[in-house]
Amino acid sequence: MASTLEALQRWVDDVAALTRPAHIHWCDGSNVEYQTLVQQMLASGELVELNQDTHPGCYLHRSHPSDVARVEHLTFVCSRDEQDAGPNNHWMAPAEAHSKMDALFDGCMEGRTMYVIPYCMGPIDSPLARCGVEITDSPYVVINMRKMTRMGALAQARIEREGTFVKGLHSTGELDPERRFIMHFPEELAIKSYGSGYGGNALLGKKCHALRIASWQANQEGWLAEHMLIVGIENPKGETHYIAAAFPSACGKTNLAMLIPPEGYRRDGWKVWTVGDDICWMRPGDDGRLYAINPEAGFFGVAPGTSNDSNPNALSTIARDTIFTNVAVTADNQPWWEGLPGTPVTDWQGRPYDPANGPAAHPNSRFTVSAKQCPTWSPKAEDAQGVPISAIVFGGRRPSLLPLVMQANDWTHGVLMGAAMGSETTAAAAGAVGVLRRDSMAMKPFCGYHYGDYFSHWLSFDRPGAKLPKIFHVNWFRKGEDGKFLWPGFGENLRVLEWMIGRIDGTANGVHSPIGTVPAKGELRTEGLAVSPNALTELLDIDLAGWQAELTAIGQYLESFGARLPQRLRAEQQRVAQALGDAAQPSRRAVAS
């Protein structure tokens, strides 16, 4: 199936001449194609059939032990001007990057099939959606892209109609860690990835296109491509507010996207709707509001930590028609990872399970599944115009200082909140414990251009006629003196979201402070909540001296972006620092007297 678009056909021909495949297959996205590829991979051993009685349509893929995660140190943004990539990215000159990659691609598909995958990120008829074509020699990539994107004939038809697409070239190569690179060419709308078969390195529609290239596109075209979940909160009146939320890894994004309300809330009629768990594209609508789509059609989620206790909706979602990667297997051939009942007999590498070899499932083992299988999936996820966003939420893992929730004074203050967000390292990560790593808007590994320009782009949405979402910051991870979490998290987080909706609707007053507005006494619903009044007070406490030190550190962080840091953001940091100093003065005078 050739293409009627000359630019697409010429590119496919050029790639074929370079990589020299034995066969070329244009993917149509059909179920017949999917089942044929699955059978081929079962025969070759690339897939293992799981228990079809307990997990119908589910299969296991084991990647090479050296190829189990994103390789950020080998990921480059190859803008023409090094300054445009910014200090937040690794940079390589485009000509050098193309030369390096083309040398690796030379003849790399000999004896293999070259798959041409037209895909659409977002609903196929959405003006917010953007299309791409990935060329790959991996059937694993094809079957995953079918679940993660709108892939095949309809996407190709849109590409041929519009005449523009992101070009993604991928080969697993020899899976040699020394010959593994992911290059992004923003001005060319192009990606080249070699030497990895793993998720984000190989499924080029995901982080490569939907964040690194799309963030650059969004900056050029006046929209936002963000590392955010999208969740709808429906109150007992039947009104639904859509919230976009950005968290660094290990802060519960998927759990929040699929949140199950506490029993009392369910009884009252509260409902939660999942639009997306990872990526959010937002664009101003004619009415001045921001409208968002989830560009993805599936979930590529981390399996460990997904359990009946933490996220029963996710567990239900992946009970059928799911591709598992690097999980363990039980005696009756069911997928297994730490946190699930049962006992593994085979680990993620296919070896008999031995605790001496480490966890049975790889800590970054994954599931790929259609989003429509989620019990809380929102049909609005297919709306071409997207859903209107009422609130943007930033969050991080901070054991102290940051309150449970605070609302920004205005858009500029909210952008500062997002720029300053981060998490403190835990014992689970290599290196020192308790070190704060800032991860502005949770986009540090994914922003395809200079962070200073990115902050300016965010600020540019605050213009006459804009009806922007309210911005909040949450911290589910504050700890007491005993080292235990003060807030139970999970479904109880709906109590915090309810307060946010009250602020949006004007029914919650809050208490103003120099760092933002926090809930007033009694404004957070506590019926059925196992949190003491003292713990609740501590969760919302504002340590003025601690915050003064924090604002100084935020200022130093912002200065690292040099001349491209917007003056407006620097001024906002100074304004908050001044307000904190003024608030601390009375307490200093009281001490002096």
The three state secondary structure string of 1-61 is CCCCCHHHHHHHHHHHHHHCCCEEEECCCCHHHHHHHHHHHHHHCCCEECCCCCCCCCEEE
Rounded Cα–Cα distance for residues 32 and 318 (Å) = 21
CA distances from 500 to 427, 430, 524, 582 (A): 32, 35, 10, 27
Backbone angles phi, psi at 257, to 5 degrees: -65, -30
Rounded Cα–Cα distance for residues 246 and 224 (Å) = 13
Active-site positions read: 251
Paired residues of 264 in beta bridges: none
Q: Which of 447, 467, 463, 464 is nearest to 455 (CA)?
A: 447
Nearby residues of 448 by Cβ (< 8 Å), 6 or more positions away: 77, 89, 184, 186, 211, 212, 213, 214, 215, 216
Long-range CB contact pairs, 210-213, < 8 A, 24+: 210/121, 210/279, 210/281, 210/295, 210/296, 211/279, 211/443, 211/446, 211/447, 211/448, 212/77, 212/184, 212/186, 212/446, 212/447, 212/448, 213/166, 213/184, 213/186, 213/189, 213/448
Q: How far apart are the first and last CA of the chain?
A: 85
The 10 Å CB-count burial string (b at 16+, else e) for 36-73 is ebbeebeeeebbbebeeeebeebbbbbbeeebbebbee
Q: Which of 440, 449, 559 is nearest to 82 (CA)?
A: 449
Rounded Cα–Cα distance for residues 71 and 193 (Å) = 11
Rounded Cα–Cα distance for residues 31 and 38 (Å) = 10
**How would you classify residue 483: left for phi > 0, otherwise alpha for psi between -120 and 50, otherwise beta?**
left
Query: How many CB atoms neighbour CB 579 within 10 A?
Result: 16
Cα angle at 56 between 294 and 321, to 5 degrees?
A: 15
Nearby residues of 494 by Cβ (< 8 Å), 6 or more positions away: 233, 259, 261, 262, 265, 270, 272
Long-range CB contact pairs, 355-360, < 8 A, 24+: 359/304, 360/328, 360/336
CA distances from 485 to 332, 405, 488, 550 (A): 37, 15, 7, 21
